[in-house]
Amino acid sequence: MIPRASYATPLARYMRRRSLLLHFEGLTAIAAVIALATGGAVIARSVIIALLNHNFPGTPPGCC
């Protein structure tokens, strides 16, 4: 009778690889959210400054 192969070692290797992949995906998602929030804040600030510089009635031309 042929002994049955143990799946403990391949399963442990698979679970370790899967765990590392899930951690990497989580960190990538966190980095993407932070980058999008930072980019949105920079763009919003530049839009607000541009609108204030062009449309504010109290500033003379060429000021600021």
The per-residue pLDDT for 8 is 85
Tell me if 53 sits within 8 A of 64, measured CB to CB.
yes
pLDDT band at 50 (very low <50, low <70, confident <90, very high): confident
Residue 64: which residues within 8 A CB-CB, separation 6 or more?
53
Residue at token pair 């960190």: 27
CA 29, CA 25: separation in Å to the nearest integer?
Answer: 6
Is the pLDDT at 14 greater than 80? The verdict is: yes
Longest alpha-carbon distance in the chain:
95
Mean pLDDT on 8-31: 91
Which helix (H) or strand (E) covers residue 61, if one does? none
pLDDT in the model for residue 40: 97
**Average pLDDT over all residues of the chain:** 85
